[in-house]
């Protein structure tokens, strides 16, 4: 019995020692990697604009741009920066791609709809601060105005920093170009905020509404069952307040666009209504373009139906919604008069072998016109027009690679 106890004690001590050595080794490696990544990020210089629009704060503390011409938004999503010593190569590719697209497109505003971070064991760290600080430093170096909405991986239960702490990172007063706001303290989530586009008369021509779709449910905090949370009732009330404040006039309704990470349940409903009708449009659904790259059920929203979509239809302001989350989907639908559009993902890291595929990687360009209308174009990163600072990797463009 004593020999067994001695063996168990020795085994436990040995295991603890190995874990300590690994932890110390990874801590040192990640600190070394941090220096390397910051040097890499600092090689990207400010994008040159002929005439860059500059935002101002309105009386309610919300940012707005003024223009009598088109307003260009670049929508990127799911950068999945690992932030650790084991993901450094993939992280560099992500920054290289985003910089090339921003340098060419010169958008007035970049909106990143979540999953900026992928602080997993496979990245070598659970410290999600690395990824968010790298991304912030990178965007500020480029000198383009930008904001974010949070995704389900940006502040996971296993990460060092929760969403409140991450939000404070983005609200850094030293940032010159970040327009992120945590939003009202009495509204669920972090990052519920608006950015407006106005004409020279002071009229809002487009209201851009960022909404936090949260992460995993309380019953599945670690995301083992992929049980996604949902937009809360107080957020829907906040949305209604923003529409009332900025979009409702005596005779007209100003148009708005919504940005978030996890698609609403209605996206799945619309997609399957189209498929079950023999991939033909229905009274409610019009398939516009793009590809469903994920496996069944193709769209992975929260399974909880909220009143957000019906509220959008009822109020008649929001004409389009933009999201990510499902990395291999890039299709666009119109459902009950509202455009539903996946963005291209950036991800080089979180899906197995996704760094070797290219059909799903790029950005979505949204051009807002002064009459409230808008156009969207999905732009694949591997077009010749995007010339990155560092060599562009060779990938397969075949959709069936998954």
Whether the CB-CB separation of 142 and 101 falls below 8 Å is answered with no
The CA distance from 156 to 127, in Å, is: 10
What was the pLDDT predicted at 248? 86
Q: Indicate the pairing of strand 109-113 with strand 256-259.
A: unpaired
What was the pLDDT predicted at 252? 74
Question: CA 118 → CA 75, 113, 159, 353, 391, distances in Å?
Answer: 19, 14, 9, 15, 24
Cis peptide before 285 (omega within 30 of 0): no
Whether the CB-CB separation of 125 and 29 falls below 8 Å is answered with no
The CA distance from 366 to 195, in Å, is: 15
* Nearest residue to 300 (alpha-carbon basis) of 388, 216, 207: 216
Query: What element of type H or E holds 310?
Result: helix 308-315
Cβ neighbours around 175 below 10 Å, total: 16
In three-state secondary structure terms, 153 is coil
What was the pLDDT predicted at 249? 78
Cβ neighbours around 252 below 10 Å, total: 10
The CA distance from 71 to 122, in Å, is: 39
Range list of β-strands (E), 95-180: 109-113, 146-149
N-terminal to C-terminal alpha carbon distance within the chain = 53
Range list of β-strands (E), 294-369: 318-323, 332-335, 338-342, 362-368
In three-state secondary structure terms, 3 is helix
What was the pLDDT predicted at 402? 41
Angle of CA points 265, 270, 271, to nearest 5°:
100
What was the pLDDT predicted at 179? 98
The CA distance from 341 to 376, in Å, is: 9
* Nearest residue to 115 (alpha-carbon basis) of 291, 362, 311, 325: 325
Cis peptide before 297 (omega within 30 of 0): yes
* Helix 88-105 with 2-41: angle, nearest 10 deg: 20
For the chain, 402 residues long, give each residue's pLDDT as a single digit of tens. Answer: 665 555 565 556 655 555 565 667 677 787 888 899 999 999 999 999 999 999 999 999 999 999 999 999 999 999 999 999 899 999 999 999 999 999 999 999 999 999 999 998 899 999 999 999 999 999 999 999 999 999 999 999 999 999 999 999 999 999 999 999 999 999 999 999 999 999 999 999 999 999 999 999 999 998 899 999 999 999 999 999 999 999 987 767 899 999 999 999 999 999 999 999 999 999 999 999 999 999 999 999 999 999 999 999 999 999 999 999 999 999 999 999 999 999 999 999 999 899 999 999 999 999 999 999 999 999 999 999 999 999 999 999 876 544
């Amino acid at each position: 019995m004593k020999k067994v106890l001695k063996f168990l004690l020795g085994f436990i001590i040995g295991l603890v020692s190995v874990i300590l050595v690994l932890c110390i080794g990874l801590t040192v490696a990640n600190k070394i990697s941090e220096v390397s990544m910051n040097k890499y990020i600092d090689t990207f210089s400010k994008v040159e604009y002929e005439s860059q629009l500059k935002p101002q704060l309105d009386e309610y503390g919300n940012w707005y741009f003024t223009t009598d011409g088109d307003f260009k938004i670049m929508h990127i999503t799911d950068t999945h920066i690992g932030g650790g010593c084991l993901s450094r190569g993939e992280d560099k590719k992500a920054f290289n791609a985003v910089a090339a697209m921003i340098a060419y497109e010169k958008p007035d505003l970049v909106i990143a709809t979540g999953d900026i971070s992928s602080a997993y064991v496979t990245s070598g760290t659970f410290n999600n601060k690395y990824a968010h600080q790298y991304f912030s430093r990178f965007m500020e170096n480029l000198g383009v105005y930008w904001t974010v909405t949070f995704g389900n991986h940006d502040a996971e239960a296993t990460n060092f920093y929760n969403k409140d702490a991450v939000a404070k990172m983005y609200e850094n007063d030293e940032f010159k170009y970040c327009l992120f706001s945590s939003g009202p303290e009495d509204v669920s989530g972090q990052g519920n905020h608006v950015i407006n586009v106005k004409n020279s008369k002071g009229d809002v021509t487009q209201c851009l509404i960022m909404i936090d779709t949260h992460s995993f449910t309380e019953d599945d905090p670690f995301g083992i069952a992929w049980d996604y949370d949902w937009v809360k009732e107080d957020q829907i009330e906040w949305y209604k307040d923003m529409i009332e404040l900025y979009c409702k006039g005596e005779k007209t309704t100003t148009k708005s666009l919504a940005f978030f990470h996890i698609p609403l349940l209605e996206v799945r409903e619309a997609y399957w209504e189209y498929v079950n009708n023999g991939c033909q449009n229905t009274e409610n659904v019009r398939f516009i373009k793009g590809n469903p790259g994920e496996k069944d059920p193709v769209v992975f929203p929260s399974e909880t139906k909220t009143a957000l979509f019906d509220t959008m239809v009822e109020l008649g302001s929001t004409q389009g919604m933009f999201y990510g989350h499902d990395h291999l989907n890039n299709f666009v639908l119109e459902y009950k008069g509202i455009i539903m559009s996946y963005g291209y993902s950036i991800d080089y890291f979180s899906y197995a072998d996704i760094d070797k595929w290219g059909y799903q990687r790029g950005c979505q360009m949204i051009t807002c016109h002064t009459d409230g209308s808008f156009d969207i174009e999905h732009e694949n990163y591997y077009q010749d027009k995007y010339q990155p600072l560092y060599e562009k990797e060779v990938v397969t463009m075949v959709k069936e690679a998954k």
